[in-house]
Amino acid sequence: VVFNTCCVRENADVKVYGRLGELKEHRKKNPKGMVVVAGCLAQKDAESLRQRFPQVDIVLGTHNLKTLPDAVENVAATGRPELRLKWGGADLELSASRRGLITASVPVSMGCDEFCTFCIVPFVRGRLKSRPLENIVKEAEHLVKRGYREIMLLGQNVNTYGFDLSPRVDFGDLLYALGGVQGLQRIRFTSPHPKDFSVKVLEAVRDVPSVVEHIHLPLQSGDDEVLRRMRRPYNRSEYFDLLTRIREMIPDISVTTDVIVGFPTETEEQFENTLELVRRARFDNAYMFAYSARQGTAAAKLPDEVGEEARYQRLYKLIQTQNAITQEKHDQQVGRSIEVMVEGPSKKDPSRLTGRARSNKLAHFVGSPDLIGSLVHVRLTEAYLFGFQGELVGELAAAG
Ligand code: SF4
């Protein structure tokens, strides 16, 4: 059993520990079985993992994933546990993870050089390391040949892609190069940093037909002092100016964001500044979180001046505010026909199909399963917080 873990949020840690506990008896009954914990949590908690869960046979840090086959052979031969936590051997050429048969996730870089004070990523995934541009383009071509229609480019701070390459490459160069891959219908990317948006990236989103009109622009806080304490190198007005520029350049753009409320020193007034900015920014949607301390980060050393109750009250208020905006924006789209990539049967109602708009929103409609993998036009008939109901208007491009 292999757990490939993330530890950005505390919940993910808790889940893995719960599952490991459940496996204890199972492991005893299967002496030849193996339990592997790989990725961020393994990197962060290697020693305590082995002490708390002796049923774990292999612990693989973030830069050691490619050594899994070798570690398995060693454990099978010696019966002794393997702990591999070395830095520097990360293999970004490991094949992409796939969502269904339509979208493939393609890592373009690993690690991050920012050290935002609330974030554990630089400690568990290391410094920025980018893949050569040609390798990513080749992988995209290969994926298209295998039938994939869409790729999601992944990086912890995706728009710093190429800053460490020599000669330096702009993330926009990668988007333009991937725009030339025949048969690749859609390109998405996440997560960018507001400070690293080059003009070339925005031009690529505007001009390259396969790059979709969706930008995730993490805000984190709408208060200048909190942003400074988070070590986010922009202020609220710079953020808002960037958002305005993006919307001027790409009028149909869908913009989503991340917001953390209840940072340890956040006052009620500072939280209100975030709410005010969220109201003004009118994001299409947001991932909203109550701050949770990650041991080892600078913010975890700050005294908690907020408290859990106030933290969750603020989160509730923020969610109410953003949800009302999302619903309002969705209502305005009813009656429009949009391009949708058909992903499969709807999870809630398998008699309908689910497709994804270029904006990343979901639409559900009646149609033949033969349409899965195709681009179709759907007229939106009803709006919800999490998407739309619609009617099939016609097919734009058949499945490959
Ligand atoms: Fe973490 Fe993103 Fe900040 Fe990097 S830029 S430290 S990944 S929050």
* pLDDT of 32: 86
pTM of the model: 0.91
C-alpha 193 to ligand 1 mean position (Å): 8
User: How many residues would you count in the chain?
Assistant: 400
* pLDDT for position 398: 66
Is 60 exceeded by the pLDDT of residue 141? yes
Residue 97: the pLDDT is 65
Considering only CA atoms, which of 283, 265, 275, 165 is closest in space to residue 216? 283
Torsion of CA 172, 176, 179, 182, to 10 degrees: -140
Strand partners, 154: 107, 190
- Nearest Cα to 379, choosing from 388, 392, 396, 368? 392
Closest listed residue to residue 363, CA positions, set 379, 327, 399, 150: 379
pLDDT at site 332: 97
Higher pLDDT, residue 94 or 132: 132
Q: What is the pLDDT of residue 31?
A: 84
Distance 121 CA to ligand 1 centre (A): 6
Q: Decide if pLDDT at 89 tops 80.
A: no
The tokens for 77 are 């031969």
CA distance 243 to 121: 25
* The pLDDT value given to residue 83: 93
Structure token digits, residue 251? 């009028």
CA distance 67 to 64: 6
Cα distance between residue 100 and residue 288, in whole Å:
27
CA-closest residue to ligand 1 atom 7: 156
Q: From the CA of 112, how far away is ligand 1's center (Å)? A: 6
* Nearest-CA residue for atom 1 of ligand 1: 119
**Ligand 1 pocket member 316 (CB < 6 A):** no
Give the number of the atom of ligand 1 that is nearest the alpha carbon of residue 120.
Answer: 1
Measured in angstroms, how far is the CA atom of residue 362 from the centroid of ligand 1? 27
Q: What is the pLDDT of residues 274-329, one digit of tens each?
A: 999 999 999 999 999 999 999 999 999 999 999 999 999 999 999 999 999 999 99
Taking alpha carbons only, the member of 127, 129, 40 closest to residue 91 is: 129
End-to-end CA distance of the chain: 34
